[in-house]
Amino acid sequence: MASAKGNGLTWRVIFDEAGTGAHNMARDHALAMSARRGEGVLRLYSWSAKTVSFGRHEPANELYDKSAADAAGIAFVRRPTGGRAVLHNAELTYGLVLPDRTYRGPKGVYTKIHEGLAHGLAQLGVEAEVAAGGVVLTPDAGPCFQVPAPGEVVVGGQKLVGSAQVRIGNALLQHGSIILDGDQSDLNQLNSTADPVPAPATLRALVGEVSTWDLAEAITGGLRGVLGGQWQEGEYRSGELEEAAWLESERYGNDEWTWRQLLLGGRDEKVHSPLDECYGGTVVVAGLGDILGGMNAAAPNDIVAQQHQQFVNLMTLLDYDEEAMPRSDLAEGWEVSDDDR
């Protein structure tokens, strides 16, 4: 395997315990919120219960049979990232946080991470590759593992890894599912409107029995070889778990967020629905700095942007194209300051 030139980042690797959907999404989000210049984080984890996760903007309310899910012991959560529905069960999930301008932005990061995953899987004997082509799908186009998209990790044309990405402040969060075993067929039992989900490639079907730990070590090695930098096993820093606990309680464990995609207020505020009387039809701005900050609806911690997005139907200053690159919406143009802030 060819080793990449170091990108100068210092990487912290967290091998986490299994958690609920709300717990896992909150920890990924908290790590992105605490990101520091010159540092990256790799978090590897699994799920304590079978869970369907929705993409941030994916329609879900009234499409899924909640009673059938309860009977089958399947939970729901909405991710901070985009993309489409994934059934999490027998898998290893990776979460990567790094500065948003690494590898020239979201598209470059997406490609490099998938190259690293493919190299790691090769250590287990998996002939994985990064898809050159594929189908670009909208968030409402069906389950994530239905068809590969450009740049995803595939084996023999079948998707093995499903990933999604979001910009949070000055950081990019990308996380994804590496399927160990099983299929996504339960999604069809819960959402009769979706097209049938073909069985994805699974590691155990490809190479036989493989442990979660072996997979975690292989993935870490592959990413280290491609992304470069200094890597070491680490822990959560002060304040990160507290932030995650708040996010789990107020957002990711909140059914109204999961099913109606609510706005997230500040730490001392209630989580409001855009239908609440207190919002009316007016964008609430705390100060001029909120406007100067960009009102970028792609940044989930930009509260003003989220209010703006709800009330004017996704018209924002900037959004992202199918290749996750920024483009103008209302803005005529933009530039980045010398300090990248």
Does residue 39 belong to any structural domain of this protein? yes
| Residue of 139 and 304 predicted with greater confidence | 139
Q: Which two tokens stand for residue 109?
A: 């990061």
Does residue 168 belong to any structural domain of this protein? yes
Instruction: Give the start-end residues of each E strand in 101-247.
Output: 129-130, 153-155, 158-159, 161-168, 171-179, 230-233
Round to whole Å and give the CA distance between 212 and 266: 37
| Residue of 282 and 257 predicted with greater confidence | 257
Does residue 2 belong to any structural domain of this protein? no
Please check whether residues 228 and 278 belong to one and the same domain: no
* pLDDT band of 48, cuts 50, 70, 90: very high
Predicted pLDDT at 190: 87
* pLDDT band of 201, cuts 50, 70, 90: confident
Please check whether residues 45 and 192 belong to one and the same domain: yes
In which domain, by residue range, is 307 found? 262-328
Residue percentage of the chain with pLDDT more than 90: 43
Round to whole Å and give the CA distance between 308 and 318: 12
* pLDDT band of 6, cuts 50, 70, 90: very low
Cα torsion angle, 252, 254, 258, 261, sign? negative
Predicted pLDDT at 308: 39
| Residue of 196 and 137 predicted with greater confidence | 196
Round to whole Å and give the CA distance between 251 and 263: 9
- Classify the phi-psi angles of 26: left when phi > 0, otherwise alpha if psi is within -120 to 50, otherwise beta: alpha
Does residue 248 belong to any structural domain of this protein? no
Count of residues making up the chain? 341
Q: Return mean pLDDT, the chain.
A: 78
* pLDDT band of 320, cuts 50, 70, 90: low
Please check whether residues 109 and 22 belong to one and the same domain: yes
* pLDDT band of 339, cuts 50, 70, 90: low
**pTM for the full predicted model:** 0.74
If one counts the domains in the chain, the total is: 2
Please check whether residues 90 and 127 belong to one and the same domain: yes
Round to whole Å and give the CA distance between 122 and 176: 18
Pairing assessment for the beta strands 161-168 and 10-15 based on DSSP bridges: unpaired
Please check whether residues 213 and 267 belong to one and the same domain: no
Predicted pLDDT at 50: 95
User: The domain that contains 94 carries what CATH number?
Assistant: 3.30.930.10
Q: Is the pLDDT of residue 319 over 70?
A: no
Predicted pLDDT at 59: 82
Average pLDDT over residues 294-300: 45
Does residue 336 belong to any structural domain of this protein? no
Strand ranges across the sheet with 39-45: 161-168, 171-179, 91-99, 39-45, 10-15, 230-233
Does residue 52 belong to any structural domain of this protein? yes
Contact 193, 200 (CB under 8 A): no
Q: Is the pLDDT of residue 253 over 60?
A: yes
Q: Which two tokens stand for residue 28?
A: 């990924």
Average pLDDT over residues 38-43: 96
Average pLDDT over residues 112-135: 89
Does residue 42 belong to any structural domain of this protein? yes
Contact 175, 94 (CB under 8 A): yes
Please check whether residues 280 and 152 belong to one and the same domain: no
Integer CA distances (angstroms), 307 to 62, 120, 248, 310, 312, in order: 23, 41, 21, 5, 9
Active-site hit among 60, 96, 126, 144? 144
pLDDT digits (tens, 9 = 90+) for 169-180: 889 999 999 999
Please check whether residues 39 and 153 belong to one and the same domain: yes
| Residue of 193 and 182 predicted with greater confidence | 182
Any catalytic annotation for residue 278? no
Q: Provide φ and ψ at 269, rounded to 5°.
A: -110, 160
Does residue 192 belong to any structural domain of this protein? yes
